[in-house]
Structure 1
């Protein structure tokens, strides 16, 4: 045989969709989708299969043989199957979910901003199959998350639906909003299963890249809407990728293009709040905070003093932006403190530190003072986005309630009489902080632009609604009318839960429907008490509008 004759290159393996259909596949070079997948408009992914006979000198051959005999899978991997059928990923549908619907600030997350996915999608005219594998999976994740507020027929099917996200007439109907969440659920589950499966097959959780980091971020975000795994594996992978990528961003000068320190500081705070709310281990370390948010700012006392002295500032519109990062930074540090000293695994392995509770209350009180000053200034400053006010309020509320629940739990588990009395006093202080947190979050929600859609904060809104309902039920055993401010907060949470029902399958759970009804019952009772001395007709008109 002539040694100069070139060996025929091996044919790449068939893609997963073609193997599943048992048809001949024509693999393309450089990870491009095969012609059959392009024609059918399905995601073309390939799982490599090891070929060849096993090495004879492999030391664990007997063990492998026994496992193969019993039919055990050596690398089982998770199951991402769905009984639902995915919608056709046509360019028109992808463009709808990807380009037109930017109601969620998560699309502006700095990890996504570090990618070129927006320009890449426009370059291929939103044909998802023309993208390289990692970008293709990221685009699928963005379309999947975008489907949570889509009003496209492929998502909602037949039946009443809004003409656009600005359709106020449709959004005023509670029943129609909740029905949309029910109709949307099967399509979203199918898309989510496909996104998880595609990400797993390309190793997004293992290989650091800008696209894979953004994919892991979005998959963790989807876990927040589906009450996913407690360990947050996708969030862990997201930050593991960032630790590899960020030093290169610094060297290349692209760190500022991802949003700079303020945006990263807000993003880390939101992640800490998710862990605090779900009682899962923090995935953010102090080094992550320094790497992504810059050096530690001056003390809280210094921040409060600066805010108090800014009353007479002639350029407050510029000064307030400089104050946001220190506030968010200190709030993120406090979230790590909550985990390390009170709610974390190590903190629970030993005796409770009452000093840690007192320290937390003291710091949280200072942060509330800073929040009050910031909100007072921001609300008198033109062109301040409501999302910024919401994030500030969410930061304080997102720690106040988990802290209160932790102190409440510690008190109930304490068998020492004298310590129990001290914990009762601490729990009352934590309760006061939680009440302030509920007011702050309700105010932040009211400041959001209308309409808005934040599916990921469903659990937070539900938890706060339940807390405020317990407060309302305990107000004079439910017989004394609620204060005007408390009534307004209950109305805010009821309205927000209904709007979230447009995205999520809230109406399929009796608990969620009952929660909304209880909120509205308290509001209606308070409105009757408020307007009854004035005019019974006015009461009926107001309740009808409500």
Structure 2
């Protein structure tokens, strides 16, 4: 009993009153008195006041520290050049996330997108105020998307203007404000920020897949489609505001470099959701480039007169736009004269290009030779549109002379791709070059595959139409038989392309190249291969088909990280694989890669690879 008073006395002695403001400012010992001024203040004749100390900061739990470390690690991967001052801190996210996310749940843009899953939202005036730190983070996220590599985009200039404006979009000039708004809109489809994907944050599977050097080579690819659903309200709100700003600015009519970039990015978003292939923004973008190139030689940085490396990038994006238009049965939005004006003339043929690839050139020479590959691909796409797959050409009799030459062009492009993929795999030991080469190989493979699949769809439609017209079909049995032969050959060609594209897709080094590059074509190839595998396609072993289907299924799971998946292909492929998976896992294909390629492409026998 006697021990308790002693303990209380000791605690009272240890609990010393805080120093007064006068002693604290002079850093001297203060003998604070409970009922009066301290001796020093009394001696000096100054008022003795004591300010209450600030409350101590609560210690973070281990779980909170682990969460913050994981978030910084992922953001370091997604935006490696970003300084810590530009990253939205965890505490700021927690205080603003729920209010910002809830503010768009019932906006006009989101209510419109709920009723029409495909297509652009209705334009709405800007009302979604993003914090400056979040704008800075989204801008850095955009730098890792493939769209950021377009040479007409000057990201450093835009970022410099944003810094001077303290990351306040409203303080920028109108055209620059619109461009910055569209940039953060596109980046929001890839962001992991809780303001974008909702207050629930993200799980550890995001960190795993973001750190991977081969996302589709992982033993277990996570299903990320829930994040595409969660980010949809905020992304659609930002997109609707960008459309409103674009209409107010009149970017399709007023020629400038900033408006050209804005049109190109808006065309990507609109085509991604509508599936139309070409929008009015695409024609405006190419019109802006044409006017800038005609009126001012220096208006377009890095054209053919400046440096060949940048000219390759210009032509690569033109190749993408051309092939994407052709595969959606639309006219190519730029002419051959526009191509010559912007990137100059290329006289290297496919045969000469193939010799470059097999002669052991350096990686830089191979990259520069891509100028010839993209130029010839644009030529093949233009000829295909005008004489084979375009709307006018489809209404005319089949040009069988052109069909034979088209097969040869596709085979030559394929031979070049085989050599390029082998070089990319050999360069895997050099991480600095492997990342870029593997991304290029995938982009070129799927571009070539789009031409093949478009060719296949054309002949399939003509075969169906000819079978419906009995009186006409019986008068020309030879033409009917030749059409069947052409279709059989292009069907085998498309099957081989589907498998090889899946293999190139497996080598893609980061998820941004899967979510924001040809993601619509992945869905087309998955659907095509699923239908063909159900009919027991000949020429490709069942195990190779199943592996390719698994690759496309996993890729669609990653694509769903950015975009809402309405196809239902993931579940369809899972059901098919479950029904077709052989009991004996040792039953592998006996056909080698060389035999497979030789059998599918007989016209390559004159080509020495």
Does residue 146 (structure 1) correspond to residue 187 (structure 2)? The answer is yes
Q: Which residue of 2 aligns with 1:491?
A: 550
> Displacement of 1:201 after TM fit?
0.9
Q: Which residue of 2 aligns with 1:264?
A: 314
Which of 221, 225, 233 does residue 178 from structure 1 map onto?
Answer: 225
Contact persistence 1:89–1:128 (CA under 8 A): no
Change (3 A) 1:267 1:530: farther
Higher mean C-alpha deviation, range 297-306 or range 226-235: 226-235
SS at match of 2:297: helix
Which of 424, 438, 455 does residue 378 from structure 1 map onto?
Answer: 424
Q: Could you list the per-position Cα deviations for residues 14-73 of structure 1 after superposition, in whole angstroms to 9, with x for gaps in the alignment?
A: xxxxxxxxxxxxxxxxxxxxxxxxxx9x9xxxxxxxxxxxxxxxxxxxxxxxxxxxxxxx
Which of 301, 311, 333 does residue 283 from structure 1 map onto?
Answer: 333
Superposed, 1:224-373 pairs within 5 Å as 224-227=271-274, 232-247=279-294, 250-251=297-298, 254-256=301-303, 260-308=310-358, 310=359, 313=360, 316-373=362-419
Q: Which residue of 2 aligns with 1:501?
A: 560
Which of 216, 219, 234 does residue 266 from structure 2 map onto?
Answer: 219
Q: Distance in 2 between matches of 1:128 and 1:244?
A: 28
> Displacement of 1:255 after TM fit?
2.5
Q: Which residue of 2 aligns with 1:440?
A: 500
Q: Which residue of 1 aligns with 2:197?
A: 156
> Displacement of 1:193 after TM fit?
1.2
Q: Distance in 1 between matches of 2:578 and 2:127?
A: 42
Q: Distance in 2 between matches of 1:322 and 1:85?
A: 43
Q: Which residue of 2 aligns with 1:467?
A: 528
Which of 484, 495, 501 does residue 424 from structure 1 map onto?
Answer: 484
Contact persistence 1:128–1:140 (CA under 8 A): yes
Gaps of 5+ in 1: 1-39, 43-77, 535-546
> Displacement of 1:230 after TM fit?
6.1
Change (3 A) 1:426 1:379: same
SS at match of 1:111: coil
Contact persistence 2:502–2:551 (CA under 8 A): yes
SS at match of 2:159: helix
SS at match of 2:153: helix
Q: Could you list the per-position Cα deviations for residues 443-481 of structure 1 after superposition, in whole angstroms to 9, with x for gaps in the alignment?
A: 22212113335245332111100111112111179xx99
Q: Distance in 1 between matches of 2:172 and 2:185?
A: 17
Q: Distance in 1 between matches of 2:274 and 2:403?
A: 29
Contact persistence 2:151–2:302 (CA under 8 A): no
> Displacement of 1:217 after TM fit?
0.2
Does residue 200 (structure 1) correspond to residue 247 (structure 2)? The answer is yes
> Displacement of 1:253 after TM fit?
8.1
Change (3 A) 1:337 1:118: farther
Contact persistence 1:148–1:455 (CA under 8 A): no
SS at match of 2:244: helix
Which of 573, 597, 601 does residue 519 from structure 1 map onto?
Answer: 573
The structure having more radius of gyration, on CA atoms, is 2
> Displacement of 1:300 after TM fit?
1.3
Report how many aligned residue pairs link the two structures. 448
Which of 225, 237, 253 does residue 190 from structure 1 map onto?
Answer: 237
Q: Distance in 2 between matches of 1:120 and 1:333?
A: 39
Change (3 A) 1:519 1:466: same
Q: Could you list the per-position Cα deviations for residues 324-353 of structure 1 after superposition, in whole angstroms to 9, with x for gaps in the alignment?
A: 211121111111111111122321343221
Higher mean C-alpha deviation, range 441-450 or range 166-175: 166-175
Q: Could you list the per-position Cα deviations for residues 479-523 of structure 1 after superposition, in whole angstroms to 9, with x for gaps in the alignment?
A: x995433222111110110111111111xx3xx23x112223344
Q: Which residue of 2 aligns with 1:125?
A: 166
> Displacement of 1:162 after TM fit?
4.3
Contact persistence 1:151–1:163 (CA under 8 A): no
Q: Distance in 1 between matches of 2:525 and 2:247?
A: 35
Change (3 A) 1:100 1:301: closer
Q: Which residue of 2 aligns with 1:49?
A: none
> Displacement of 1:120 after TM fit?
2.2
SS at match of 1:250: coil
